[in-house]
Amino acid sequence: MLVEVVKIISDPLVVALALWVLGDIFVERSGVINLALDGIITAAIATAFVSTQNFGYLISLLITVTITLAFASLFMIFINILHAYHVLTGLALNILFYGLSALIGLRFQQSPSITTLNLNSLTLASISILTAALTWLILYKTSIGTAIRACGFNPRAAEHSGVKVWRIRFLASIIGYIAVGIGSYIYATVYRGGWSQYTGRGYGFLAITLAMASTWHPLLSYPITLAFGYLYTSIYSLQLLYGIPPDVINAIPYIASITIVTIVYSTPLHKKLATPRALGEVYFREERAA
Partner 1 sequence: MPKVAIVKRELSKIATVLAKVLVILLGLLLAATLTSIATGNPLKLISITLFQSFTNLNVFVYISTLLPTAVGLSLAFSANAWNLGAEGQLVFGAIGATFIALFTPLGRQEIIAPIAALIFASLFGALWALPAALLKMFRGINEALTTLLMNFIAYYVANYLVKGPWRGRTVYGYPTTDMIPIESRIPTAPGYSFSWYVVVACIAIAVLLYLFLYRTRVGIALRALGSSIHFVELSGLSSKKLFLIAFLISGALAGFAGGVKILVYHKKLVEGSIVGGGYGFTSIMVSWLGGLNPLFVIPASYYTAVLYILSFGLQIGSAAVGDALSSTIVGFLLALILLADFLTRYRIVIRFR
Binding site for partner 1 (CB under 8 A): 33, 35, 78, 81-84, 87-89, 91-103, 106, 197, 205, 208-209, 212, 245, 247-248, 250-251, 254-255, 257-258, 261-262, 265-266, 279-280, 284-286
CA atoms within 13 A on the CB side of 63: 17
Whole-angstrom distance, CA of residue 80 vs CA of residue 86: 10
Cβ closest to partner 1, residue 152 vs residue 218: 152
22, 131 in Cβ contact below 8 A? yes
Cβ partners under 8 Å of residue 187, min gap 6: 12, 13, 16, 41, 45, 48, 200, 203
Question: Smallest distance from the beta carbon of 142 to partner 1, in angstroms?
Answer: 26
Cβ closest to partner 1, residue 24 vs residue 124: 24
Cβ closest to partner 1, residue 2 vs residue 290: 290
Question: Smallest distance from the beta carbon of 212 to partner 1, in angstroms?
Answer: 6
Cβ closest to partner 1, residue 84 vs residue 129: 84
Whole-angstrom distance, CA of residue 158 vs CA of residue 196: 44
165, 32 in Cβ contact below 8 A? no
Cβ closest to partner 1, residue 19 vs residue 212: 212
Cβ closest to partner 1, residue 25 vs residue 100: 100
Whole-angstrom distance, CA of residue 79 vs CA of residue 33: 10
Cβ closest to partner 1, residue 113 vs residue 123: 113
CA atoms within 13 A on the CB side of 177: 31
Question: Smallest distance from the beta carbon of 214 to partner 1, in angstroms?
Answer: 13
Question: Smallest distance from the beta carbon of 239 to partner 1, in angstroms?
Answer: 11
**Residue 290: exposed, middle, or buried by beta-carbon count in 10 A (0-12, 13-18, 19+)?**
exposed
- DSSP code string of 164-185: -HHHHHHHHHHHHHHHHHHHHH
Which ranges of 56-163 does DSSP label H, i.e. alpha helix? 57-76, 86-108, 121-141, 143-153, 155-160
Question: Smallest distance from the beta carbon of 113 to partner 1, in angstroms?
Answer: 17
Cβ closest to partner 1, residue 14 vs residue 211: 211
Question: Smallest distance from the beta carbon of 181 to partner 1, in angstroms?
Answer: 20
Whole-angstrom distance, CA of residue 17 vs CA of residue 58: 21
Question: Smallest distance from the beta carbon of 223 to partner 1, in angstroms?
Answer: 20
Question: Smallest distance from the beta carbon of 186 to partner 1, in angstroms?
Answer: 24
